[in-house]
Amino acid sequence: MTPNSLAFRLVAGAAIWGGLALLLGGIALASIFRDVVQRNFDNRLMVVWESLVTVAELTPERNLSVPPLSDPRFGQTFSGWYWQISLVEAVGSNTAIVNRSRSLWDQTLTAHPDVNPRTFVKWRAGGPEQQMLRIIAREVVLPGAGQPFLIIIAADEDAVTANIERFNSILTWSFAAFGVVLLIAMLIQVRVGLRPLRHIRSGLAAIRNGRSERLDGDFPTEIAPLVGELNALIEHNAEVLERSRTQVGNLAHALKTPLSILANEGQNHPGPLAGSVLKQTQLMKNYVDHYLARARAAATAQVLGARTDVASVLSDLVRTLQKIHQDRALSIDWQSQDQLAFRGERQDLEEMVGNLLDNACKWTTRQVKVSARSLPSEGDAAGDTAQLTIVIEDDGPGLSNEHKEAALERGTRLDDTTPGSGLGLSIVRDLVGLYGGTLDLGSSDAGGLSARLILPEQRGDT
């Protein structure tokens, strides 16, 4: 996933909100648990306080007697559980302490200044052995006593703190594991949810490669309108192509009859004027063929689904040219990689390769070689995008650098003794340009001309 992808945006957005929800939920649960544990601990201390008030008695000598409580920790020195009873009027004096638990030994619990007889006062303070104590206190008047007593209960908070820390640790690891599971679930959900888009992508690739004509399949309600629009666009593109082909055919048919009449008239009336008419008529036919081919290619160059097998085109062209030049006993050798395909119309590929092959056969001495293969595009070493490369070589006289540039100009003929109109290479150049390719003329190993044609390849696995 890239930062600009839908999958990344969906997962990142869900992860941020999910993580924030887990964090806030964890904080809330930890706070609730801490309050519950603290409240239960305070309730337990209040129960001990009430028990102490219940068992405390005044002796006939006006001394306060407290029998041992049921919790043995009050009898263990510095156990962390303490109680203390003192006179309210004498708080802060040496005679303040009336009685205290054995666990306090000779230590004293300091009273809180807000202690009163109406409610419990709760606070934290340090105790013996560096213990952090939770303390509750309240003033009370015991039966038969003429003055109030301050009763303090204190307990070590280590147990409460340990329980809270243990819960927080379990909560943290649980929420972390839940977050990981949730993230995996989001990844799976996004992958499954975006599967229709991948299906559309593969379907469009199949259309572009000529393996299908429209997008088919059962798409979700949200995607179905998009699929319908794409199919409508593909059908409209096909209709435009068909109309263009029809118009080109109509134009060719409309021009063919007047040109044929002119050619017949020139043949029926020999003379200088007839020769000029025949020459210009033939030139007009060549120009008509050139521009009709260019118009047809412009209409079909970017059509989705156009795919042409290269091997079959080369085979047919070689067979035809061998028949045309059978009196010269030419050798035309060709080879092509398996399943090599041109991204375009068959007749356009035949026009380009046919002109180059015909030119090579006209100028070759004995042998013409044709090779077709797939090469990675420039700057794409991985070969994800490829180009179709067709090289046609002959062992003829070849061309100089100046003549190579001139040969591509429209209507240029370097040798009037060879049949032709001088439009062949320019037609190839124009068609190649319409398909976004290139045509390079060089020298072959045999000393003749080498024409290198680079065109877009149609891959069956894209």
**What digits encode the pLDDT tens for the residues 275-323?**
787 778 877 777 677 666 666 665 555 555 567 889 999 999 999 988 8
Task: Give the pLDDT of residue 417.
Answer: 43
How many folded domains does the chain comprise? 3
Task: Give the pLDDT of residue 403.
Answer: 64
Which residues does 340 contact at the CB level (< 8 Å), separation at least 6? Answer: 309, 310, 311, 372, 373, 374, 388, 457
Verify that 311 and 298 share a domain, yes or no: no
**Which one of 304, 321, 347 terminates a domain?**
304
Assigned domain for 300 exists:
yes
Determine if the pTM surpasses 0.75. no
Task: Give the pLDDT of residue 163.
Answer: 92
Verify that 294 and 322 share a domain, yes or no: no
Distances (CA, A) of 305 to 302, 436, 454: 9, 17, 20
Verify that 357 and 426 share a domain, yes or no: yes
**Full domain range(s) for residue 434:** 306-456
**Which one of 279, 304, 329 terminates a domain?**
304
Task: Give the pLDDT of residue 385.
Answer: 56
Verify that 336 and 346 share a domain, yes or no: yes
Bridge partner residues of 134 (DSSP)? 124, 155
Verify that 246 and 322 share a domain, yes or no: no
Bridge partner residues of 372 (DSSP)? 336, 390
Instruction: Please say whether the beta carbons of 390 and 455 come within 8 A.
Output: yes
Q: Residue 119: which CATH number? A: 3.30.450
Assigned domain for 19 exists:
no
Verify that 223 and 335 share a domain, yes or no: no
Verify that 312 and 446 share a domain, yes or no: yes
Task: Give the pLDDT of residue 382.
Answer: 45
Task: Give the pLDDT of residue 170.
Answer: 94
**Which one of 273, 304, 335 terminates a domain?**
304
pLDDT beneath 50: ranges in the chain: 94, 380-384, 410-422, 461-462
The count of residues in the chain is 462
How deeply is 261 buried, as exposed, middle or buried, from its count of CB atoms within 10 A (0-12, 13-18, 19+)?
exposed
Verify that 256 and 379 share a domain, yes or no: no
**What's the CA angle centered on 280, arms 274 and 285, to 5 degrees?**
125
Assigned domain for 77 exists:
yes
Task: Give the pLDDT of residue 297.
Answer: 60
